[in-house]
Amino acid sequence: MPPRRRLDEESLSAVLSGRADHDTEIATDDVALVVRSIPLRPHGERIGAVILLRDVTELRRRDRELVTKDATIREIHHRVKNNLQTVAALLRLQARRIDQPEARAALEEAVRRVGSIAIVHETLSQAVEETVDFDEIADRLGRMVTDVSAVSGRVRVLRDGAFGVLPSETATAMAMVLTEILQNAVEHGYPGMADVAEVDAAHEGRIPVSVRRIVGRLHVAVQDDGVGLPADFDPDTTTSLGLSIVRTPVESELGGLIEMGPANEGSGARVQIDVPMD
C-alpha cells in the first residue's frame, strides 16, 4: 500500500497547475484521492492541463484491513507457538518426575512432536503469507531430532533437494511426518552407537533426506544406514503409534502415498512419501 501523504498548499497548487506530468495521492482521515496532472502542449507550448482524479478511499480502506488481518494472523501463529512451547515444557517437566523408562520415553517423544508443530507456527508468525519455506523447517527438525537423542553427535541428517514453499496446512502435516520418520531412524537404526565412546566421521550414522518436486508432486525419501527393519516387520499389520502418526497425515490429510522397506543398497531402512502439490 503506498504511503498516505498530506500535501501543503504550495505543493497542491503545483500539482493542480499542470506544469508537469505528476502523480500523487491526497489523503485525509476520511478520503483518499489519486491526482494526475497532464500538461497540454499541442505545439510545444503549454496551453493548459488535464487533471484526473480517482477516488481510492475504498481501496485504501481495504488495504488497511488486509494489513490489520495479516498482523492478526501472524499474532495468532505467535501465540499458538508460545502455547505449544508451554505444553512441551510441561511435558518435559513431567518426564523428569517419572521413574519408569518407557513412560519417560513416551513423554519425550510427545515433546518432540509438539516441538515440530511449534517450529511451523514460529515460521508462520514471521511470514506475510500463509505459506512457509519448508527447507529451513526441515533442517531445524533434523537438528532437533539428533541433538536430543542418545546418539547426539554420532548421527547426521543430510538434506538433498528442496521442499520449497508449502501451504501452512501441508507444512504442519509434513513437519509431523518428517519428525516421526527421523526419530524412528535415529532411535531404532543405531541401537549400539550410544555406547560407543567416540565415532569418527567415516563411521558416523548418516540419514539422507532426498526431496524432489516433479510435475505437481512432492517426493520425499528418508534412508538410514542403520541396522534396518526387523525381519517380521509388516507396515500393513503393525499398530505402532509412530507409524500411525506417519501414515494418517500422509494418506488422510495430504492425499499421498507412503512406502516403507529396506534400503536400496546395503543395510538400513527407507521410507518414501509421494504427495500431490497444487
Residue 242 belongs to domain with CATH number: 3.30.565.10
**What's the pLDDT at 229?**
78
Residue 39 in domain: yes
* CB 182 within 8 Å of CB 233: no
Residue 188 in domain: yes
**What's the pLDDT at 5?**
46
Residue 84 in domain: yes
* Cα–Cα distance, 193 to 154 (Å, whole number): 7
In terms of domains, do 153 and 272 share one?
A: yes
In terms of domains, do 39 and 116 share one?
A: no
In terms of domains, do 142 and 261 share one?
A: yes
**What's the pLDDT at 4?**
43
In terms of domains, do 174 and 82 share one?
A: no
Which of 77, 103, 129 represents a domain boundary (last residue)? 129
**What's the pLDDT at 209?**
94
**What's the pLDDT at 160?**
94
Residue 80 in domain: yes
In terms of domains, do 173 and 274 share one?
A: yes
**What's the pLDDT at 145?**
82
Which residues in the chain show pLDDT less than 50?
Answer: 1-7
Residue 86 in domain: yes
Residue 186 in domain: yes
In terms of domains, do 87 and 28 share one?
A: no
**What's the pLDDT at 47?**
75
* CB 123 within 8 Å of CB 134: no
3-state helix, strand, coil in the chain (%, to 5): 45, 25, 30
In terms of domains, do 141 and 106 share one?
A: no
Which range of residues forms the domain containing residue 232? 132-193+205-278
Q: Which residues contact 79 (CB under 8 A, 6 or more apart)?
A: none
Angle at 185 between CA 183 and CA 186, to 5 degrees: 65
**What's the pLDDT at 139?**
92
Residue 2 in domain: no
* Cα–Cα distance, 250 to 6 (Å, whole number): 54
Which of 113, 129, 145 represents a domain boundary (last residue)? 129
In terms of domains, do 210 and 247 share one?
A: yes
In terms of domains, do 277 and 235 share one?
A: yes
Please count the residues of the chain. Answer: 278
In terms of domains, do 112 and 137 share one?
A: no
| Domain total of the chain | 3
Which of 129, 150, 181 represents a domain boundary (last residue)? 129
* Cα–Cα distance, 89 to 78 (Å, whole number): 17
Give the H or E element holding residue 129.
none
* Residue 221: all three cell numbers together: 525419501
In terms of domains, do 13 and 95 share one?
A: no
In terms of domains, do 172 and 256 share one?
A: yes
pTM of the model: 0.64
**What's the pLDDT at 217?**
93
**What's the pLDDT at 1?**
41
